[in-house]
């Protein structure tokens, strides 16, 4: 497992404050991917996306070595189960992939909020983060 600095761990703790904002509206699960790309989910606003991305980048959590996130996905019955078994490094690589893809495919991050991927990733981060590194602030800006 990669060693993370206290600064990086603090950044992960800050990202976790966005978890509740990343719960999508229940009535969007039937929408097509193209529609989801154009729909801002629930209480997660565009300014929150920028703040989330800023924290992610400022705390040097981005990792563009995506090969590992494409391996072994077939052995899990669904994306949630796959995420529940990801090590910390893979969770961060997956978040990096989503953030960078959103720069090319506008709304990709929102689509990943709608399909609950972002919520599951932050839930996994929370489970992996050593106790004492969680922040108590809420991300409601």
> What are the angstrom distances between the C-alpha of 76 and each of 25, 96, 110?
25, 21, 24
The pLDDT score that the predictor gives to residue 137 is: 41
| Average pLDDT rounded to a whole number, residues 92-107 | 92
The pLDDT score that the predictor gives to residue 139 is: 43
User: Is the model's pLDDT at 35 over the cut of 80?
Assistant: no
pTM of the model: 0.79
6-20 pLDDT, tens digit each: 999 999 999 999 888
List the chain domain ranges. 7-128
The pLDDT score that the predictor gives to residue 32 is: 62
The pLDDT score that the predictor gives to residue 92 is: 94
> What are the angstrom distances between the C-alpha of 104 and each of 27, 58, 64, 82, 100?
27, 20, 15, 25, 7
Say which range, 24-33, 60-69, 113-122, has the weakest mean pLDDT: 24-33
User: Count of CB atoms within 10 A of residue 97's CB?
Assistant: 18
Give me the percent of the chain exceeding a pLDDT of 90.
38
106 pLDDT band, cuts 50/70/90, is: confident
| Average pLDDT rounded to a whole number, residues 89-117 | 90
- Which pair of structure tokens corresponds to residue 52? 């989330």
| Average pLDDT rounded to a whole number, residues 66-93 | 84
């Amino acid at each position: 497992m990669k060693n993370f600095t206290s600064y990086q761990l603090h950044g992960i703790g800050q990202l976790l404050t966005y978890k509740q904002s990343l719960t999508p509206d229940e009535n969007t699960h039937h929408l097509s991917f193209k529609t989801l790309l154009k729909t801002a989910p629930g209480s997660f606003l565009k300014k929150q996306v920028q703040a989330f991305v800023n924290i992610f980048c400022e705390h040097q959590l981005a990792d563009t070595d995506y090969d590992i996130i494409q391996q072994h996905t077939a052995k899990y019955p669904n994306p949630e189960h796959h995420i529940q078994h990801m090590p910390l490094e893979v969770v961060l690589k997956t978040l990096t992939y989503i953030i960078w893809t959103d720069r090319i495919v506008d709304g990709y991050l929102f689509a990943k909020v709608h399909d609950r991927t972002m919520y599951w990733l932050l839930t996994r981060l929370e489970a992996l983060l050593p106790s004492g590194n969680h922040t108590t602030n809420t991300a409601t800006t």
